[in-house]
Amino acid sequence: MLEIANLSVTLPSRRGPLHVLRRIDLSMAKGQIHGLIGESGCGKTMTAMALLGLLPEGAVVAADRFRFDGDEVAGRVKTLRGRRIALISQDPAAALNPVLTIGRQMDDVIRSHHALPRPERQAKAVDILAATGLPDPQNLLRRYPHQLSGGMQQRVVIAQALATGADFLIADEPTTALDVTVGAQVLRLLRDLVASRGLTVLMITHDMDVVAETCDRATVLYAGISVEEGPVGALLDHPRHPYTQALLAALPDAAPHGARLAAVEGSIPPPTETLPGCAFAARCPHATAACAAPPPLRNAGGQSWSCHLELP
C-alpha cells in the first residue's frame, strides 16, 4: 500500500538547514496497522506531514521511492490528502470546531468529497457516525462538540476521516487525550474498522502498549532515521537495534518493583547536525570506532535494522 525508501526532509532556518527527516524507509501492506515508534523529536509527526503533503514552505523533500497503492506519488502526494489519506489527530477537541454542530461539520467533509444531494449527505453522515459506535447518530447531528465526552469526540473525528472516503488513515497518538478505558475502546474501534473496511493505518505513538495491542508491524525512528522494522511480536520480544533495546528497557514495566527506572542517557542529536556515521553512536553502549561510518542494514527473523554489530 505504501512504500517509501530513503525519504529525507530538510527545512531552511536561520541556523542553517534542519535535517528533520534523514532517512525514512517505510513499507506497509494493505489492511494492516503499522506502528511508528520513537521518542519526541525523532520524526514521527514530520513523517506524517510528509505523507499528507503538509510540510512547511521551503521544505526540501527527496526520496528514492515514494509509492502509494502501486503508483509513484513523489511531488504530488498532497493530491491524495482527503481522497485516499486522512489524519486522525491526537486532540479531538482541537480538531473539531466548537461553534458548529456535529451535523454541520460532518456535512462540510462529505460535501467537499462527494457530489450528493443534502438528504443523501445527511443519511451518509448518520451511517458513518453509527459505524464508529456512536449511539443515536441522528440526534448527534444537532449537538455541539462540548456536549460530547472525549471518547465520543474522537469517534466523530474518526467518522470525519472515514467520510472523506480515504482508505489510509494516519492516527497521530489517537489515545493521548483520553483516559485508559476510553483509549482502549478507540483502539478496538480502529482495529474493527481495519477488519471491516479494509483500511490501512499508520499508528504514530510512543506508547508500547498501544503498539503491542494494535499493530501488526512497526518501525522505530531515531533522529529522523528508520533504525529498525519488523513484526510487532518479534520487535518487542527480541529488539535488535541498541536504540530499540534501550527504549524497551526504559519502560516502567521492565524495571523490578522499587528499582530505579532505566533511562536512555543523553539526547537526540539536533537537526542542525550532519551525521556521517550512526546517529545513535553518542548514546550507544556498544559503540566502537566502526560506528563513525554509516551502519549497514541487517535482516533476520523478518526484522531489519541498521547497525555495525552483527547481533546487537
264: amino acid identity, one letter = V
Distance CA 136, CA 152 (A): 12
The C-alpha cell 512504500 sits at: 3
Confirm or reject binding of residue 309 to ligand SF4 (CB under 6 A): yes
- Residue 41 phi, psi (nearest 5): 85, 5
Q: What is the DSSP letter of 134?
A: -
Could you give the C-alpha distances from 9 to 6, 48, 143, 192, in angstroms and in order? Answer: 10, 12, 41, 34
Nearer to ligand SF4, 147 or 267 (CB): 267
23 forms beta bridges with 225
Using left for φ > 0, alpha for ψ between -120 and 50, and beta otherwise, residue 247 falls in: alpha
Q: Considering only the stretches 50-58, 154-162, 229-237, 284-292, report the one whose residues sit in contact with ligand SF4 under the rule CB under 6 A.
A: 284-292
Residue 11 or residue 309: which is nearer to ligand SF4 going by CB? 309
At closest approach, how far in Å is the CB of 294 from ligand SF4?
9
Least Å from the CB of residue 295 to ligand SF4: 4
CB of 97 to ligand SF4, least distance (A): 45
DSSP letter (8 states) at residue 171: E
Residue of 62, 149, 286, 302 that binds ligand SF4 (CB under 6 A): 286
Residue (84 or 241) nearer to ligand SF4, CB: 241
* 19 contributes a contact to ligand SF4 by CB under 6 A: no
Longest dimension (CA), the chain: 68
In the shown chain, the binding pattern of residues 231 to 270 toward ligand SF4, with x for contact by CB under 6 A and - for none, equals: -----------x----------------------------
Kindly tell me which residue out of 7, 281, 303, 304 binds ligand SF4, with binding defined by CB under 6 A.
Answer: 281
Of 82, 189, 295, 298, which one interacts with ligand SF4 (CB under 6 A)?
A: 295
Binding mask 184-213 for ligand SF4 (x = CB under 6 A): ------------------------------
Place of cell 533511562: 263
Min. distance of Cβ 293 from ligand SF4 in angstroms?
A: 9
Reported residue count of the chain is 312
Distance separating alpha carbons of residues 16 and 2, to the nearest angstrom:
31
Least distance between ligand SF4 and beta carbon 4 (Å): 22
Binding test (CB under 6 A) with ligand SF4, winner from 20, 42, 199, 284: 284
Q: Find cell 514521527 and name the residue.
A: 44
**Nearest-angstrom CA–CA distance, 267 and 283:** 8
278 touches ligand SF4 by CB under 6 A: yes
Asked if 219 and 226 touch (Cβ cutoff 8 Å), the reply is: yes
Choices 82-90, 94-102, 196-204, 303-311 (CB under 6 A): range interacting with ligand SF4: 303-311
Residue from 11, 52, 184, 287 binding ligand SF4 (CB under 6 A):
287
Burial 264-280 (b: 16+ CB within 10 A, else e): beeebbebeeebebbbb
Question: How many positions of this chain bind ligand SF4 (CB under 6 A)?
Answer: 13
3-state helix, strand, coil split of the chain in percent (to 5) is 35, 25, 40
Q: Measured between alpha carbons, how far is 217 from 220 in angstroms, rounded to an integer?
A: 10
| Residue with Cβ nearer ligand SF4 (217 or 241) | 241
Stretch that binds ligand SF4, among 130-138, 158-166, 255-263, 285-293 (CB under 6 A): 285-293
Binding residues vs ligand SF4 (CB under 6 A): 242, 278, 280-281, 284, 286-287, 291, 295, 307-309, 312
